[in-house]
Chain A
Amino acid sequence: MNRRPLLAGALLALTLRPAAATPEDEAAALRAFTGGAALREGRVALDIPPLVENGNTVPLKVTVQSPMTAADHCTAIALFNEKNPQPQVITARFGPRAGRAELATHMRLATSQKILAVAAMSDGSFWSTSAEVIVTLAACIES
């Protein structure tokens, strides 16, 4: 087996590491979602393990307190991170037919960082919560 490509790959992996998203990137992504509206704390619960062994698959669940009626429902849940290569994670759109404003998925974490969950309501308000996550094995960048 030729080890040279492996070595070259490892060296390039060290030199070509893409810059992580900056807090400004996250703020820009957040602005694109909220349209500049202010975030209020509360109504959103983000369930994510505080200590993650493998950043390649991190289970998480977002639950929003909302009656989910035609007049008053959660229209979207968006997740943002601050240190992955890109700030966006997932944006889910809901209607009153969702029944409950709940979203569960698995995400990647490049490093220990803060995850921000934002919920958009049908009355135009935005609610948020965040969680600090410590990651021991990173994802996204390493091969």
Chain B
Amino acid sequence: MARVLLNLPRSAAKGAVIEIRTLIMHPMESGFRPGMNGSILPRDIITRFRCSYNGEEVFRAELSPAIAANPFISFTTVATESGTLSFTWEGDNDFRQTETRDIAVT
């Protein structure tokens, strides 16, 4: 399990736009770098990121090797109702990780 940093408010007013910042520890090996023995290191990156709010997708991104190691993605969403935000990262070598955060909307 990779370490994940998630920065979003625990509570928000209904209808407010909240900023969500995500960072996951991942080497994002580009597949273009030679290793110690000179052969090209195989690509190992995160290719997809998805955020859903109470099961409904609100944000999605497709990543490429041009994204820096430990991918940082920041976006916004409207706080519509109390519930759970879930964040899923998927990548090469069957990498898949999901984190959830609860939000209280008043």
Contacts and interface: CB of A to CB of B under 8 A. Distances in A.
A95 B77 CA distance: 9
B25 interface: no
A103 B75 contact: yes
Contact of A97 (B36, B37, B73, B78): B78
A71 interface: no
Instruction: Label chain B's interface by main secondary structure.
Output: strand
Contacts of B38: 5, 8-9, 11-13, 16
Given A105-B71, A106-B71, A84 B66 contact: yes
Given A108-B67, A108-B68, A97 B58 contact: yes
A85 B58 CA distance: 31
A88 B66 contact: yes
Interface string A44-73: 000000000000111101000000000000
A123 to B, nearest CB: 20
Contacts of A100: 17, 76
B65 A140 contact: yes
Given A9-B38, A99-B78, A105-B71, A141 B64 contact: no
B68 A98 contact: no
A41 interface: no
A86 B66 contact: yes
Contacts of A102: 74-76
A95 B72 CA distance: 20
Instruction: Label chain A's interface by main secondary structure.
Output: mixed
Interface in A1-42: 5-6, 8-9, 11-13, 16, 18
A90 interface: yes
Interface stretch (B27-35, B89-97, B98-106): B27-35
Contact of B77 (A11, A91, A99): A99
A86 B64 CA distance: 8
Q: Which of A100, A103, A108 has the most CB of B within 10 A?
A: A108
A90 B17 CA distance: 23
Interface of A: 5-6, 8-9, 11-13, 16, 18, 56-59, 61, 81, 84-86, 88-95, 97-100, 102-108, 139-143
Given A5-B38, A9-B34, A99-B17, 13 more contacts: A6-B36, A8-B38, A16-B40, A92-B73, A93-B60, A97-B53, A103-B75, A104-B72, A105-B71, A105-B73, A106-B68, A107-B66, A107-B67
